[in-house]
Structure 1
């Protein structure tokens, strides 16, 4: 039986395999003659049967073993093997009576009798090599050079495919226990976190805060259809909760934070006209108002250790309220007014989620969003010190009880994991939760417990017909159905091809399909996309730009030729690019990337030079798209809701427009009649054009409402021929409360991420 060979599991040498006079392209599931004849595509299960036979080349493999490995956890009929073998023989040009590839053995099964060679490509050139030299053929139909790997050395390579259940990528999934995984700048160690759900009602349960002794937890629970939100209190075990505040329609009690002495809970109360900071006795009773929220919007709260003051930071920005900058603030409870903490920062920095160390010496916080890191300042203010060099999305942080470490949650290849940082050594350890994401940790000083949100979310891609108006979202069509999430659909200008990101295989991948040929659906192996923005297509629809990385590598910009299954890493000089766009001049490219300290900016590059030459730069920019009709570039600010315009040389920058909600300024789409944006003016999905200049007062009234709901969007693209907008929206989101012992901070084998000096 095949299980006796489980100890042979290893990463396979290549995506391409020669069997006899045929070449098997594993990611494409294609078998082609060596002489360049037409390839034949086989089914996923047929490929699985072939790879098991390859793993045991020259030896019999029983039908029972094939069923066990290729059809695990199912009850198929015996005919499925016959059908798979028949399809393989047809693709290989084999004859059952006079076999050259697959031999049938009476009462024993099947045996692969053809010779085998793994075709291993050379290592890819470095990122700063010329683009032409950096071309890597991922899932390409032909190979020009061959490096032969003996079949015996790869005998067990494919067995892990079925144990892990991933046939398309054909890479074994490593255990999350003591798994070495890279971060931006340095590797970290991963140790799986065992946790318990203590609140798991269908309603959203969010933002837990533990009492100092760890015995109780308070959190927010949303009412039916999101009409209100109340604070719930329960023990830190799976027991029924009780309501701490009253459910009032239109009133949202959010962001609870337990006081250091355990007697009170601070929280934010957000209503239609006002956002207030409140305090309520932990034992229950009437809440009292302390003051207004920073900038009039809800945000997290944290206590100073003496219990006399709160620390906070403004979370978001919009186009109607003029309020505080995105900095750190302190509110003394007996004063009730937020005061800016004196410390150095750039106007483009977004400082979030501050927490004061239990010893009262430091304030740790998150700086910036797309390329976020952890920083700290002395509790009274001063010069910020950068603690990490991760450049990723971060979702909440908390101090360890001894003030020597931090717990935080961060994005990692499709999930949000709990991580620990030892401040003395700089060691970071990730603690993934399997299929769940962990967010917004809270630590108890008394019993060494951490509580957090446990999130399981599914997003789907939808096509909205603009002519349906306000009913467009309700009538929208789901595209790319699967049990996983399908996000960031990007429609080519030809209206047929779509690139999108999905975790349908259990890991995050970039997928492509020609809608006129459903059987063309395939993913790009060995490429991990960064799912921040939709892929940007070239006007000719033959290629596109994506940002991602190879496993174990750093992020880069790749040019894709989807129909050919080909990807080329471009020689972009920037580290950590987050957005990229074509320019009308084929020798130019627009790249948004880190400009220091996680601050974003856009550069117009001349890519005909080696190395690429920067022609112009604009700081504090998150997205840049070309408007071919008006011969301009439209830019989205990082920290304000402003939209800027510049000429095609990225000069003469000026403000031209602004959106209602700051995050919507990044949902820019280039169309034949100008740049459009999915604003939120008067309804959740307001599709309108971007003003040509500040004098164009009609632009904000030029759009159509496509839905009164749907605030949670992940990318927007436009299919002109169909008169439709493609978006991805959150379909199902379950947020529960989980608890676990605080993971060891600084203990065990962990790689070191040295603190980085302030920039």
Structure 2
């Protein structure tokens, strides 16, 4: 796979200088940032687009053929022509150029491309005089791809997802929200449907920490003057916490975890004097507190059952509140409180717990908000003193972080609904408005200062490819990987047909999220299926005869629907599933269907339907994802908040526990069924992606698929003969820290008011 990874930028070009001027634009080579003249802002290039530009610069005005560019920028791969078209299109957007009347890049019919503008290297000695550009992200044009990452896995058995995939490609989806009355100091608000569209406020984004290492889980101090985040001290080393003012480029190390341990998920106390965080690895999993000025690290409690997740300080600073740990056989995962004085955990006093995560206290300390549900989640709130939770949104979406605005007038959340975007919810009228998108990358896990209108967030950038592994040759030292339908975009959720001949998957290689189908032995058969915008949380599901596919797709009306694709004709029809579907499977009976639908309190229900009237025959609660085992005539599934795997009879009546430990909750999709056997593609010691049988014989050797790369979430498929497994693996990924002033969101002061 080394041949698939992005290479160096080109020795000749980079050696001449760090800055390049093309026409009246300047390019920071190291950061891949194009500075536009005047007040035009900046534009972030992909690595491939920059490599194409450098190849055109080196040609000194000569025409460079498409074949030469493909061979230079995508060596040792089988790229499609659209990857080059995409790269050139991004360069034209960066230079504000036109294909019809070009000033920078000219298209030569049946020839290639030529650079029209005069390039000039800015010498290193002049570099100090060049102001560093501010990375002001601009809105992408229609159908620009914005891939979303797979979840980063925490060490051990925790669910420390400081970042994320599910994933996202481009899908133009309307956001429809139904809000419950807001029991706050402001007027009650009920929006029966989505609020009217608004012009996005002029929020400007900056990347303030952007090293090659992952900078994760940023949190702003209450006054907004400092950001703390988790980062490796050196490549391959443990994570530690770092402090950095938003206006500066250098960070100082705050914590020193020691050998075999790592620090993550920092959170500021309300007084700004302390930072709590999770330390896991050597010594187990512990909640720690450190002085914001540095030093005095101390343990305040142990992780409950080894579990950890994002948390918040109580308003009085005496406790930490965390959610997401299964509380018993009913699979509820209630919010829990860690008392800092005693180190003991206790359940918070509220009614009807579901799968709760991402707790956040309101600025006045009167309310506690949280996300209920996982991939089909919503925001809820409960009085801080306890009581009955109320549902705040009806998004049924993948919410990747949220926080209150400083005055409590609303909140900002990240939602993956086709792609990751930031949204503002105004509590006065229930309106939901989209904030300006990033030009490149996915904004997730926003964190807003308590007393300043400023926000930090993660910027996740991602590129993945599909690979086939021969299981017969897999050993503990690794397996041979063969690229499949290679591209420079995000390829994921592969599904191999029952006979092993045809692969269906989701990709943004055409600059939009589409379902692609092609025969492995005949790459020229690869084509996109029109009429569907797939939501790639789970792979497509083949019918037993290989003629149809079940796919979850987005609709222009905001809700996800279940589609059935006729593979021979590439026709698409909507299946009228009651409720909001998340996944589906074909059982043995041709007139029945298994569907995971959104249930009460954010819990997923697995329902067996009788067709064509969609009559409910049986159901199971708290199912994260289910798959049908044709050989064993059973339905196997994982739970959303508990490690393990269960199987039920076809009627969903009798349930047996197959494993108590595998897969872990944050790997609930990383398993596959073939020939009546169930395999996991989770990590193993010394191996990022291993192939092991769940419930198999003890002592069987682990077959390592990839030592370096963790499989993209939900992207495992194996043929019926268990000869080849297909995986989506990350080829390029990085997480940076972004920052933005939220002053444009501040409500105007009442007439006559003064600071």
Alignment of 1:706-745 (within 5 A): 706-714=705-713, 715-720=715-720, 723-742=723-742
Alignment of 1:273-672 (within 5 A): 273-314=283-324, 326-346=333-353, 349-413=354-418, 415-431=419-435, 432-470=437-475, 475-573=480-578, 575-608=579-612, 611-658=613-660, 659-672=662-675
Report the counterpart of residue 279 of structure 2 in structure 1.
Answer: 269
Which structure has the larger Rg?
Answer: 1
How many angstroms apart in 2 are the aligned matches of 1:330 and 1:368? Answer: 19
296-305 or 613-622, larger mean C-alpha shift: 296-305
How many angstroms apart in 2 are the aligned matches of 1:664 and 1:219? Answer: 24
Task: Confirm or deny: 8 A CA contact 2:337 2:347 kept in the other structure.
Answer: yes
User: Structure 1, residues 1-54: CA drift from partner, whole Å, max 9, x if none?
Assistant: xxxxxxxxxxxxxxxxxxxxxxxxxxxxxxxxxxxxxxxxxx999xx9xxxxxx
Task: Confirm or deny: 8 A CA contact 1:606 1:615 kept in the other structure.
Answer: yes
Report the counterpart of residue 697 of structure 2 in structure 1.
Answer: 698
Deviation at 1:205, TM superposition (A): 0.5
Q: Decide whether aligned partners of structure 1 residues 472 and 721 sit closer, same or farther in structure 2, where only a CA change above 3 A counts.
A: farther
Secondary structure of the corresponding residue to residue 382 of structure 2 = strand
Task: Confirm or deny: 8 A CA contact 2:177 2:432 kept in the other structure.
Answer: no
Deviation at 1:325, TM superposition (A): 6.4
TM norm structure 2: 0.71
Q: Decide whether aligned partners of structure 1 residues 369 and 746 sit closer, same or farther in structure 2, where only a CA change above 3 A counts.
A: farther
How many angstroms apart in 2 are the aligned matches of 1:74 and 1:626? Answer: 52
Deviation at 1:596, TM superposition (A): 2.2
How many angstroms apart in 1 are the aligned matches of 2:106 and 2:413? Answer: 43
Q: Decide whether aligned partners of structure 1 residues 390 and 78 sit closer, same or farther in structure 2, where only a CA change above 3 A counts.
A: closer
Task: Confirm or deny: 8 A CA contact 1:468 1:706 kept in the other structure.
Answer: no
Report the counterpart of residue 253 of structure 1 in structure 2.
Answer: 263
How many angstroms apart in 2 are the aligned matches of 1:338 and 1:312? Answer: 10
Task: Confirm or deny: 8 A CA contact 2:276 2:287 kept in the other structure.
Answer: yes
Deviation at 1:312, TM superposition (A): 1.8
How many angstroms apart in 2 are the aligned matches of 1:664 and 1:508? Answer: 24
Q: Unaligned stretches of 5+ in structure 2?
A: 1-79, 86-97, 113-139, 146-171, 179-192, 749-755
The root-mean-square deviation of aligned C-alpha atoms, in Å, is 3.3
How many angstroms apart in 2 are the aligned matches of 1:257 and 1:746? Answer: 24
268-277 or 199-208, larger mean C-alpha shift: 268-277
Task: Confirm or deny: 8 A CA contact 2:513 2:534 kept in the other structure.
Answer: yes
Task: Confirm or deny: 8 A CA contact 1:294 1:314 kept in the other structure.
Answer: no
Secondary structure of the corresponding residue to residue 713 of structure 1 = coil
Deviation at 1:385, TM superposition (A): 0.7
Q: Decide whether aligned partners of structure 1 residues 470 and 702 sit closer, same or farther in structure 2, where only a CA change above 3 A counts.
A: closer
How many angstroms apart in 2 are the aligned matches of 1:254 and 1:705? Answer: 28
Deviation at 1:306, TM superposition (A): 2.7
Report the counterpart of residue 12 of structure 2 in structure 1.
Answer: none
How many angstroms apart in 2 are the aligned matches of 1:738 and 1:720? Answer: 45
Deviation at 1:398, TM superposition (A): 1.3
Deviation at 1:240, TM superposition (A): 1.0
Deviation at 1:495, TM superposition (A): 1.5
How many angstroms apart in 1 are the aligned matches of 2:608 and 2:482? Answer: 37
670-679 or 397-406, larger mean C-alpha shift: 670-679
User: Structure 1, residues 160-191: CA drift from partner, whole Å, max 9, x if none?
Assistant: xx986889xxxxxxxxxxx9933466445462
User: Structure 1, residues 148-170: CA drift from partner, whole Å, max 9, x if none?
Assistant: xxxxxxxxxxxxxx986889xxx
User: Structure 1, residues 183-203: CA drift from partner, whole Å, max 9, x if none?
Assistant: 466445462742011111111
Task: Confirm or deny: 8 A CA contact 1:581 1:590 kept in the other structure.
Answer: yes
Q: Decide whether aligned partners of structure 1 residues 332 and 550 sit closer, same or farther in structure 2, where only a CA change above 3 A counts.
A: closer
Task: Confirm or deny: 8 A CA contact 2:501 2:519 kept in the other structure.
Answer: yes
Task: Confirm or deny: 8 A CA contact 1:206 1:736 kept in the other structure.
Answer: yes
Q: Decide whether aligned partners of structure 1 residues 616 and 314 sit closer, same or farther in structure 2, where only a CA change above 3 A counts.
A: closer
How many angstroms apart in 2 are the aligned matches of 1:412 and 1:316? Answer: 26
664-673 or 589-598, larger mean C-alpha shift: 664-673
Q: Decide whether aligned partners of structure 1 residues 383 and 674 sit closer, same or farther in structure 2, where only a CA change above 3 A counts.
A: same
**Does 1:203 find its partner at 2:213?**
yes
Secondary structure of the corresponding residue to residue 563 of structure 1 = coil
Deviation at 1:392, TM superposition (A): 0.9
TM norm structure 1: 0.71
Deviation at 1:365, TM superposition (A): 0.6
How many angstroms apart in 1 are the aligned matches of 2:296 and 2:641? Answer: 37
Deviation at 1:261, TM superposition (A): 1.5
